[in-house]
């Protein structure tokens, strides 16, 4: 078993895009540039354009052959578990085992929880019940489950995923950390500083041992907004505008959770997270020329980080 500290660095990208074709082109570029994975976030309802990730990831899987595809993250509690189990198992089959299910509790847009019949205050409990059901159904065994999300007796999924689908659990809260320790193959929080990551990762490891799980089997990952440009006067307004439009907060309050600027700035910032224990990064591209940024991060940033780890 590879220990968490000895685990090689890997990198994923959330390129976004205004069209399916733009997203697929970015996935192909990421594969050619040796990224580990390409991801897409999720909202059932949102004030602006946000397509459904599962079909888009299926398309990305169809135009690539090596790179993993993942939801970063899916609001899994807003889906019915049996249907989600079948959808994700099918995507794992379509991609020859390259799918990762990233999940989180969400909550920043209450209307989508109301519309989906999930009480906002109980979203974490609903997510736990969803994960319990997914794990049981994916096994291919005959299962009986009764919880908030599903009541079924003697059910069997006809397409058990092979290999098993890795579950990447988001959430920086204590509940998210416990969830990663209990159900996760990775802990991938979003919007937190390096020191908070180090504290949370130590807690995930302790909690995993309490669940009789090997903490070294869990990938320590982080997802973060980024904007690459050699000219900081170009990068800064792009990411600041995107953050303020998305979260309705001043960028100054959010800045320490992001990475932006030229290669030196990226390397210095990401090294702080590496020192805190991170071994996988997911970069959410804020805007601008997405293909150019996918390329420059891969050529100007990632080699410097991986080479420093090999020394």
Residue 149: which CATH number? 3.20.20.30
How many of the other CB atoms lie within 10 Å of CB of 66? 11
Name 170's Cβ contacts closer than 8 Å, sequence gap at least 6: 72, 73, 102, 103, 104, 105, 176, 188, 189, 190, 223
In a domain, residue 1? The reply is: no
pLDDT at 99: 98
pLDDT at 308: 79
In a domain, residue 302? The reply is: no
With CA atoms as reference, report the closest residue to 228 among 306, 288, 271, 305.
288
How many of the other CB atoms lie within 10 Å of CB of 303? 13
In a domain, residue 54? The reply is: yes
Domain that holds residue 126: 11-288
In a domain, residue 5? The reply is: no
- Mean pLDDT in order along the chain per 10 residues (311 residues): 73 96 97 98 94 97 98 98 98 98 96 97 98 97 96 96 98 97 98 96 98 98 98 97 92 96 98 98 96 97 90 66
In a domain, residue 304? The reply is: no
In a domain, residue 299? The reply is: no
pLDDT at 1: 47
The pTM (predicted TM-score) of the whole model is 0.96
In a domain, residue 175? The reply is: yes
- SS3 per-residue string spanning the chain: CCCCCCCCCEEEEECCCCCHHHHHHHHHHHHHCCCCEEEECCCCCCCCCCCCHHHHHHHHHHCCCCCEEEEEEECHHHCCHHHHHHHHHHHHHHCCCCEEEEECCCCCCHHHHHHHCCCHHHHHHHHHHHHHHHHHHHCCCCEEEECCCCEEEEECCCCCCCCCCCEEECCCCHHHHHHHHHHCCEECCECCCHHHHHHHHHHHHHHHHHCCCCHHHCEEEEEEEEEECCCHHHHHHHHHHHHHHHHCCCHHHHHHHCEEECHHHHHHHHHHHHHCCCCEEEEEECCCCHHHHHHHHHHHHHHHHHHHHHC
pLDDT at 309: 80
pLDDT at 48: 87
pLDDT at 6: 78
How many CA atoms does the CB half-sphere of 306 hold within 13 Å?
Answer: 16
State both tokens at 247.
Answer: 């979260």
In a domain, residue 281? The reply is: yes
Give the count of domains, the chain. 1
């Amino acid at each position: 078993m590879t220990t968490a500290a000895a685990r090689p660095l890997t990198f994923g990208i959330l390129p976004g895009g205004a069209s399916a074709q733009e997203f697929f082109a970015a996935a192909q570029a990421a594969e050619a540039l040796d990224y580990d994975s390409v991801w897409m976030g999720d909202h059932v309802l949102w004030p602006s354009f946000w397509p459904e990730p599962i079909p888009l990831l299926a398309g990305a899987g169809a135009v690539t052959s090596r790179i993993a595809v993942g939801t970063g993250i899916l609001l899994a509690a807003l889906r019915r578990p049996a249907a989600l189990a079948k959808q994700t198992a099918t995507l794992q089959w379509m991609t020859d085992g390259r799918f990762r299910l990233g999940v989180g509790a969400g909550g920043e847009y209450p209307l989508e929880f109301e519309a989906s019949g999930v009480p906002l205050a109980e979203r974490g409990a609903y997510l736990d019940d969803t994960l319990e059901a997914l794990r049981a159904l994916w096994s291919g065994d005959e299962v009986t489950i009764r919880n908030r999300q599903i009541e079924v007796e003697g059910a069997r999924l006809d397409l058990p995923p092979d290999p098993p689908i890795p579950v990447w659990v988001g959430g920086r809260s204590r509940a998210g950390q416990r969830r990663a320790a209990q159900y996760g193959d990775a802990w991938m929080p979003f919007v937190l500083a390096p020191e908070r990551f180090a504290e949370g990762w130590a807690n995930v490891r302790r909690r995993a041992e309490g669940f009789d799980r090997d903490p070294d089997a869990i990938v320590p990952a982080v997802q973060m907004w980024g904007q690459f440009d050699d000219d900081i006067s170009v990068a800064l307004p792009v990411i600041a505008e995107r953050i303020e439009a998305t979260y309705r907060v001043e960028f100054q309050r959010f800045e320490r959770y992001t990475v932006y600027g030229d290669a030196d700035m990226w390397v210095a910032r990401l090294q702080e997270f590496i020192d805190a224990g991170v071994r996988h990064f997911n970069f959410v591209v804020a805007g601008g020329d997405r293909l150019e940024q996918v390329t420059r991060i891969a050529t100007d940033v990632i080699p410097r980080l991986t080479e420093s780890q090999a020394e």
